[in-house]
Amino acid sequence: MSRTMAEVNRLLRKTAGLINDDTECPFQGEFRVGVDLGTADIQTIVLDAAGNPLAGFMDWANVVRDGVVLDFFGASQIVREQVQRVSAKLGIHIEQVTTSFPPGTDSIISTNVIEAAGLDVAGVIDEPSSVAQLLQLDHAAVVDIGGGTTGTAIIEQGQVVCSRDDATGGRHITLALAGHFGMPYEEAEEMKRTSKDRVLCRLASPVIAKMADIVHGHIAEHKVPAIYLTGGACALPGFLEVFAAEFPDIDVVLPSHPLYLTPLAIANYSDILQPRKSRVG
pLDDT at 56: 97
Query: Phi and psi dihedrals of 193, rounded to 5?
Result: -75, -30
pLDDT confidence bin for 271, thresholds 50/70/90 = low
Report the C-alpha gap between 121 and 95 in whole angstroms. 9
Fold designation for 136-256 = Nucleotidyltransferase; domain 5 (3.30.420)
pLDDT tens for residues 46-68? 999 999 999 999 999 876 665 56
Give the start-to-end residue ranges of the domains of the chain: 5-129+262-269, 136-256
pLDDT tens for residues 160-206? 888 888 888 999 999 999 999 999 999 999 999 999 999 999 999 99
pTM of the model: 0.90
- How confident is the model over 226-248, as a mean pLDDT? 94
pLDDT tens for residues 6-23? 999 999 999 999 999 999
pLDDT at 104: 74
Calculate the average pLDDT of the chain.
90
Identical fold between 5-129+262-269 and 136-256: yes
pLDDT at 1: 46
The CATH class, in words, for 5-129+262-269 is: alpha beta
